[in-house]
Structures are given as structure tokens and as C-alpha cells.
């Protein structure tokens, strides 16, 4: 019975015993078990910890999230090789606030090293490095390493054991990869900054500011130049303002690249409010880092999916640029979700949960840059269409205007050639056309006659009845003159009450007959004006073309002389010769 009890006791002792890490000539140990204890009061000392037995066993990749607790880790390491070996215990993250390494050998502390940004000294050049402690083990020697960690950033990390060569290799590869990714992001930011100076599109500025905020955050987490040295602890956490800033600038970028304002004023103002909120949060993080970052992480869990939703809504509304935005955000949101879950302690720390966000951001920035480039293409296409429409519209308007001008010109020519009141030709076209007809008549030895009419006592009509009524008399007489005229006849008003009819191929006798017919018709004419009628008479002088006549002036001069004779002999008569 006692034998079985001893065996059972030995079994449980073995079950809860701390696992010893056995080291031989292998250069790297990446997977092993460590023991951990959470000090919720953050008051325990190394002496208190060495006497505590309630450590629990976990893997060497730890994720404890955001916490005010201090975590202690314990590693029991034994050299099972036949020679003395030298190794380095490495933490893969440099963002821990305070790290204390304690090395015990034979229950005696032989080494204590402080590391982390919380131990930066004021005013000196403090290097941001991934914490590491060197230790050596003689043949069959066992040492215990305690690590005390407190952090304002998420408590996630990985413990690795390297020899010198592997340690140097890890640092080279880490720095090279991050330098490449960050350098690529900076190149994209610079490229789009140059485009901004060309286009003046504010979307490019928000892209650049978003890129720089993300780069500042990641370089300060990884100790990459220029965020590898700091004057003090506060200056390190000052860089933490870049975290809410990147969400702010991403929100503003979303608002402009997706042209949310044209889609929905409500969403546009909502995104501006969110962006402004994170700007304020960034300012607050300078004075109260820890609560600001907690608020940022809590709200970002809702904001980032909302931005993705904005991309979907924009795409549904026909914005082709949104497809680039959606692909970028899906990739980045997937990686940032892994990062957040690991940061809050819901997911084990590993390569993908820690560094996937960097790769996701790199792809995101490329897709955002493509979206901006495609936006320029669309804008140029729209500009071309607008210009083409404007050109077509201009051509139509020019043709329309040209037609209007031609019509106006014709109207002006008509107005210029015709008397506005009577509708007859005026003096200028009468003389131009008459002189050509006279030249032809003299050449062809044909006859042309001219009738010169004058309304008798027209001044008395105006004085008695008024100028408006006088105009009606002129219109009535003009209508009589045009009545029964041939196409070749020219009828014109050459002054106030003087009128001319040019009769091609008409001899003197026939012209006199036509004049008499017109005189008689006017004599019987009644011009109706409201409640009364106006009667009037006309006098006429007749002349015909002679060989010595040079132009119409000569014919009108003779006709005018005979008209004057008609006026002197009682008016209302036609005079066709110089003897009355």
C-alpha cells in the first residue's frame, strides 16, 4: 500500500514539476515551455517570486493583452552538452515598458539586467532594442532565469534562445525586411505627394499622412531608424499619437477617395466627425497615453468595419474606384484583426498575428495608390467627355449664332434697303439699282421713265390730324403705289412725302397714263382713322430717259421740275412736260 502511495506521489510531483529546457549544441530553440505568474498588484519583488510555487506553464509565445498587471516568467535551463555553451534569451518585441532579467544559479542571483523604454534615462541617447540577456552554462549546469515585464502597450511577445550567430542573423533579417517594407511605403508616399502638387487633390495628402502615421507607428514598435533612439521615456510614448492619427487620416482619405459627399451628406459628415474624434484622441494620447490607446483600440473595432461598409455602399452606387478600396481594406482589416486579437490576448502571438499587419498595410498602400491613379484616369476621361460635350455645344451654338447673324444680316440689309414706315425701297438701293438699269437701257437703246410723286399739303395733314395719322396716310399711299406694279418696276420713298417709281421699258406716254391712274385712285381714297376718314391728293412729275442723261439724278431733276410746276398749278395733277 505504501509502495502505491509513493508511486502516486511521484506521479503528481512529476505532473506539476516545472519543465527544464535542455540545451545542447543546437544554435536555436524556438519552441519550449515557460512558467508564468500574474502579479495583479505589481508589488512583488524578486525575493517574493522565488518563493511562489503557483507558476503555470505556457508556451514561449505569450499574449496577455492590455493589462495593468506585472507578469513574471520563469525558465529553468540546463546544459546537457559536454562543453560550456553561451546563449542569448531574446524577446522579439521592443515595446515593453520595463523588463527585468534575473539569473539564478544554485539559488543565488548572479545577474540582474534592466531593459525597456521605461528605463530610458533623461537627456541621453537611449537605444530602442529588442530585450536580450546573455548567459552561459557549464557542463550539466542548470540556471533559472526570471523575467519581470510591465507594459503600457499590449503584453504580447515571444521568447527565443539563440547563439551569437543566430542572434545576429535574426536582427539582420528583421531589420532588412522591415527596412524594405517601410522604404517601399515611403516611396509610395513620396510618389503620391508629388502627384498632389500636380493635381491639388486633397485625397493624396490624406494618403501621405496616413502612410506616414502608419510608418511612424511600426518603426517606433520595431526600433527602425529614425525611431531607434529617444531622449527619454516620454518621447517614445509621444510617437504613440501616430496610432489614432492613422485611423483619422484613413477616415478622411475614405471620405474623399470614395467621394462620399456626392453619395450621402449624412455619411460624409459622420466620417468627418470620426476623423475629428481621432485627431482629438491623438492629442489626448500625448498627456494620457494608456486610456487613449484603450479607447482607440475599442472604437477602431467598429470604425474599420464601418469604413469597409462605406466602400461597399460606394461600389453599389457605381463608383469603380471602390473596388480597389474594398480589396485594400479587406486585406488590411484581416491582418489588423489578427493583430488586435493578439494585442488583446485572444489569440496567441505568432509571426502572422504580429507582422501580418505590416504586409497587409503594404498591399493596402499599393491598392490605394492604384485607386488614386485610376481616379485620375476616370477624372481625365470625365474631363475629356465634358470638354467634348462643351466643344459640341460650342459648335452647335456657333452654328446657331452664325445662322442668327446671317438672318440678322439679311434683316439688316432689308431694313437698310427699305423704308421702315412704307415698306418701299429707300433712296440708296433705288439709286444703285436704277443706275444699273439706266446703263443697260442706254446700251440696249431702250426707254426708262420715272414718276416723282408728292403728297399734297402733307404738313397740313400732320398738323390737323397728328403725325400718327400722317404715317397712316403714307402707308396707304405706298400700298397704292405698289398695287399692280411689275416685278421690274422699282417703287421707293426718297423723303418724307416724296415717292419715286422707276418704270423700265416704259415710254413717256405710257408712264404719264400710269401716273394719272394713280392720281385718280388716290383722289378717291379714304384713309380710315378711328371715327373719321382722311382724304388726300398727290401731284406727279414725269420724265423719261434721254441720251444725255448720265444717271437717275438727271431723270429725277426733270421730274422734280415738273412736280414743282404741278404744285404751282393747283396740285392734284400730273405734269409730263415742261409746258403747262
pLDDT at 136 over 80: yes
Kindly indicate the confidence band of residue 14, based on its pLDDT and cuts at 50, 70 and 90: very low
What's the mean pLDDT in 560-580? 87
Asked which of 168-172, 239-243, 346-350, 407-411 is least confident by mean pLDDT, the reply is 407-411
Q: Which of 516, 523, 470, 521 lies closest to 497, judged by CA?
A: 470
pLDDT at 346 over 80: yes
pLDDT at 243 over 60: yes
- pLDDT score at 395: 76
* Average pLDDT taken over every residue of the chain: 87
- pLDDT score at 565: 92
- pLDDT score at 415: 54
pLDDT at 379 over 50: yes
What's the mean pLDDT in 200-226? 89
- pLDDT score at 178: 87
Q: Over pLDDT 90: what percentage of the chain?
A: 40
- pLDDT score at 11: 39
Q: What are phi and psi of 544, to 5 degrees?
A: -130, 160
What's the mean pLDDT in 241-256? 93
Asked which of 10-24, 444-458, 474-488 is least confident by mean pLDDT, the reply is 10-24
Q: Which three cell numbers stand for residue 232?
A: 527619454
User: How confident is the model over 421-451, as pLDDT tens digits?
Assistant: 888 888 888 888 888 888 888 888 889 999 9
Asked which of 155-159, 256-260, 426-430, 446-450 is least confident by mean pLDDT, the reply is 426-430
Residue 458 CB coordination number (10 Å): 18
What's the mean pLDDT in 270-284? 94
Task: List the catalytic residues.
Answer: 497
- pLDDT score at 110: 95
- pLDDT score at 18: 59
CA distances from 579 to 275, 339, 423, 574, 576 (A): 108, 126, 34, 12, 9
pTM of the model: 0.64
- pLDDT score at 408: 60
Q: Which of 153, 172, 152 lies closest to 162, judged by CA?
A: 172
- pLDDT score at 414: 56
> 90 and 167 in contact (C-beta within 8 Å)?
yes
Asked which of 64-78, 85-99, 400-414 is least confident by mean pLDDT, the reply is 400-414
- pLDDT score at 3: 43
- Tell the burial category of 356 from Cβ atoms under 10 Å away from its Cβ (0-12, 13-18, 19+): buried
User: How confident is the model over 178-209, as pLDDT tens digits?
Assistant: 888 888 889 989 988 998 888 888 989 999 99
- pLDDT score at 224: 85
> 514 and 451 in contact (C-beta within 8 Å)?
yes
Amino acid at each position: 500500500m505504501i509502495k502505491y502511495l509513493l508511486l502516486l506521489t511521484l506521479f503528481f510531483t512529476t505532473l506539476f514539476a516545472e519543465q527544464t529546457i535542455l540545451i545542447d549544441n543546437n544554435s536555436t530553440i524556438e519552441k519550449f515551455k515557460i512558467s508564468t505568474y500574474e502579479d495583479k498588484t505589481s508589488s512583488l519583488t524578486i525575493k517574493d517570486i522565488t518563493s511562489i510555487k503557483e507558476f503555470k506553464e505556457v508556451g514561449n509565445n505569450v499574449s496577455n493583452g492590455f493589462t495593468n498587471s506585472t507578469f513574471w516568467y520563469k525558465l529553468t535551463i540546463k546544459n546537457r552538452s559536454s562543453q560550456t555553451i553561451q546563449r542569448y534569451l531574446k524577446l522579439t518585441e521592443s515595446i515593453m515598458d520595463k523588463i527585468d532579467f534575473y539569473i539564478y544559479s544554485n539559488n543565488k542571483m548572479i545577474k540582474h539586467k534592466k531593459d525597456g523604454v521605461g528605463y530610458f534615462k533623461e537627456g541621453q541617447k537611449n537605444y530602442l532594442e529588442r530585450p536580450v540577456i546573455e548567459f552561459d552554462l557549464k557542463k550539466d549546469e542548470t540556471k533559472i532565469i526570471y523575467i519581470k515585464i510591465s507594459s503600457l502597450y499590449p503584453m504580447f511577445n515571444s521568447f527565443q534562445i539563440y547563439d551569437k550567430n543566430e542572434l545576429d542573423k535574426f536582427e539582420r533579417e528583421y531589420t532588412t525586411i522591415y527596412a524594405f517594407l517601410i522604404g517601399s511605403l515611403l516611396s509610395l508616399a513620396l510618389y503620391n505627394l508629388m502627384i498632389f502638387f500636380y493635381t491639388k487633390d486633397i485625397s493624396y495628402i490624406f494618403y501621405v499622412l496616413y502612410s506616414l502615421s502608419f510608418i511612424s507607428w511600426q518603426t517606433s514598435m520595431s526600433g527602425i531608424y529614425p525611431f531607434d533612439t529617444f531622449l527619454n521615456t516620454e518621447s517614445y510614448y509621444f510617437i504613440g499619437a501616430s496610432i489614432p492619427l492613422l485611423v483619422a487620416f484613413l477616415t478622411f482619405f475614405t471620405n474623399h477617395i470614395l467621394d462620399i459627399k456626392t453619395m450621402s451628406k449624412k455619411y460624409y459628415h459622420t466620417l468627418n466627425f470620426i476623423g475629428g474624434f481621432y485627431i482629438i484622441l491623438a492629442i489626448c494620447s500625448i498627456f494620457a497615453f494608456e486610456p487613449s490607446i484603450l479607447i482607440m483600440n475599442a472604437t477602431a473595432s467598429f470604425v474599420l468595419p464601418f469604413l469597409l461598409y462605406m466602400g461597399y455602399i460606394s461600389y453599389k452606387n457605381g463608383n469603380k474606384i471602390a473596388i480597389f478600396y474594398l480589396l485594400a481594406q479587406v486585406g488590411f482589416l484581416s491582418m489588423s484583426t489578427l493583430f488586435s486579437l493578439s494585442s488583446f490576448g485572444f489569440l496567441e502571438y505568432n509571426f502572422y498575428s504580429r507582422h501580418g499587419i505590416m504586409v497587409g498595410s503594404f498591399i493596402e498602400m499599393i491598392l490605394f495608390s492604384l485607386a488614386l491613379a485610376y481616379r485620375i484616369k476616370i477624372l481625365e476621361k470625365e474631363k475629356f467627355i465634358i470638354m467634348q460635350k462643351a466643344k459640341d455645344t460650342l459648335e452647335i451654338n456657333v452654328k446657331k449664332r452664325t445662322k442668327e447673324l446671317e438672318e440678322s444680316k439679311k434683316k439688316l440689309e432689308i431694313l437698310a434697303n427699305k423704308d421702315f414706315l412704307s415698306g418701299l425701297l429707300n433712296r440708296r438701293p433705288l439709286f444703285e439699282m436704277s443706275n444699273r438699269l439706266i446703263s443697260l437701257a442706254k446700251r440696249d437703246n431702250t426707254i426708262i421713265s420715272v414718276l416723282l410723286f408728292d403728297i399734297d399739303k402733307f404738313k397740313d395733314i400732320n398738323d390737323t390730324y397728328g403725325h400718327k395719322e400722317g404715317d397712316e396716310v403714307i402707308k396707304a399711299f405706298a400700298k397704292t403705289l405698289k398695287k399692280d406694279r411689275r416685278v421690274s418696276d422699282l417703287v421707293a420713298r426718297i423723303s418724307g412725302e416724296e415717292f419715286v417709281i422707276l418704270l423700265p421699258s416704259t415710254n413717256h406716254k405710257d408712264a404719264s397714263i400710269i401716273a394719272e391712274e394713280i392720281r385718280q385712285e388716290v383722289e378717291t381714297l379714304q384713309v380710315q382713322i378711328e371715327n373719321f376718314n382722311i382724304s388726300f391728293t398727290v401731284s406727279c412729275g414725269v420724265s423719261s430717259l434721254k441720251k444725255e442723261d448720265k444717271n437717275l439724278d438727271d431723270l429725277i431733276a426733270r421730274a422734280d421740275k415738273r412736280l414743282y410746276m404741278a404744285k404751282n398749278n393747283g396740285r392734284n395733277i400730273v405734269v409730263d412736260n415742261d409746258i403747262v
